[in-house]
């Protein structure tokens, strides 16, 4: 960042005011074209954000994006907690959790190389140590096409070809089953998990195998259609979770977002 945090905060206020001329001013004050702003979110973590990107713009205006995810998982944190952030994007939840609870272990899974690099950059901004796994988690150990945007800078990607206009290209990315990583001793069994994998959440859960029933795995937040909790939902997620001892409830959205998916908490009785 070329200027001080104070300058970035002033630019943020200008951006949030909705007044014309923000991008011109931002370009004049910085060396890059439409450069990123160094901003502290509502949980005290610093991130490099680009005002023209959707998730970044929500954080700039409201302080966070889907803070219900972090709030739900905070209830299950202890000094020995192991947190897996699956589909970490630029590291918002994983890094914010590590800033809040420096003693816990955090593992972030992100198969898109440019976003994995961005996670490492944001971790450096906060001076935190965590593990970035440049791979996806599904129900298979393989290399698969990862559909993404042409620029690969927005962070939206999926192993499922949804036919979305934005996902116009693909790269080859590594996928793992969670149970393979755990049983092989490569990674520890998590206590709390966040899953946001653009429609492949059921396959990610299935990849935990028998570990999904472990009492050590206390809470999972995942994104899904709002109808996933209803009896008529055409999704294996509710049955998979219930069979492994979880209850689930929909989380109340905290920020003003524009998509029709919801976040759910799966939790145990104890």
Q: At 198, which CATH number?
A: 3.40.50.150
Residues 162 and 222 in one domain: yes
Per-residue confidence (pLDDT) for residue 54, from 0 to 100: 87
| Bridge partners of residue 85, in order along the sequence | 108, 194
Below-50 pLDDT ranges, the chain? 1-3, 33-34
Measured distance CA(108)–CA(89) in Å, rounded: 9
Same domain, 117 and 241: yes
- pLDDT value at residue 1: 42
CB 48 within 8 A of CB 37: yes
CB atoms within 10 A of CB 38: 21
pLDDT at 155: 61
- Pairing mode of beta strands 261-267, 219-225: antiparallel
- Check residue 38 and give its pLDDT: 83
Measure the CA–CA gap between 15 and 10, rounded to whole angstroms: 9
235 and 164 share one domain: yes
134 and 229, same domain (yes or no): yes
Helix 22-29, helix 5-17: angle, nearest 10: 170
Note whether 14 and 110 are same-domain residues. no
Q: Which residue range is the domain that position 13 belongs to?
A: 5-62
Domain total in the chain: 2
Residues 38 and 139 in one domain: no
Query: Do 54 and 83 reside in the same domain of the chain?
Result: no
CA 14 centroid distance within chain: 27
Please give the torsion angle defined by the CA atoms of residues 92, 81, 137 and 221, in that order, rounded to the nearest 10 degrees. -60
Q: Are residues 42 and 149 in the same domain?
A: no
pLDDT single digits (tens) 114-135: 999 999 999 999 999 999 999 9
Q: Are residues 235 and 101 in the same domain?
A: yes
Pairing of strands 142-148, 169-177: antiparallel
Q: Radius of gyration (Cα) for the chain, nearest Å?
A: 19
In this structure, are 131 and 24 located in the same domain?
no
């Amino acid at each position: 960042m070329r200027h001080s945090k104070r300058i970035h905060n002033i630019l943020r206020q200008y951006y949030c005011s909705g007044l014309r001329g923000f991008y011109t001013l931002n370009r004049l004050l910085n060396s890059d074209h439409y450069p990123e702003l160094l901003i502290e979110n509502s949980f005290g973590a610093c991130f490099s954000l680009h005002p023209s990107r959707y998730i970044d713009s929500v954080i700039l205006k409201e302080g966070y994006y889907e803070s219900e995810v972090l709030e739900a998982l905070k209830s299950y944190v202890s000094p020995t907690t192991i947190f897996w952030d699956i589909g970490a994007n630029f590291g918002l939840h994983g890094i914010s959790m590590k800033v809040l609870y420096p003693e816990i272990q955090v593992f972030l899974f992100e198969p898109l190389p440019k976003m994995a690099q961005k996670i490492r950059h944001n971790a450096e901004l906060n001076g935190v140590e965590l593990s970035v796994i440049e791979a996806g988690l599904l129900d298979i150990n393989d290399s698969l096409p990862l559909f993404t945007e042409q620029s690969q800078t927005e962070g939206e990607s999926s192993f499922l070809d949804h036919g979305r206009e934005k996902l116009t290209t693909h790269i080859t990315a590594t996928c793992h089953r969670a149970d393979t990583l755990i049983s092989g001793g490569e990674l520890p069994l998590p206590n709390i998990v966040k899953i946001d994998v653009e429609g492949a959440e059921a396959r990610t859960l299935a990849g935990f195998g028998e570990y999904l029933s472990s009492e050590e795995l206390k809470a999972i937040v995942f994104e899904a259609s709002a109808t996933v909790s209803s009896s008529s939902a055409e999704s294996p997620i509710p049955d998979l979770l219930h069979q492994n001892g979880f209850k689930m409830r929909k989380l109340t959205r905290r920020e003003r977002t524009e998509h029709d998916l919801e976040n759910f908490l799966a939790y145990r009785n104890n």
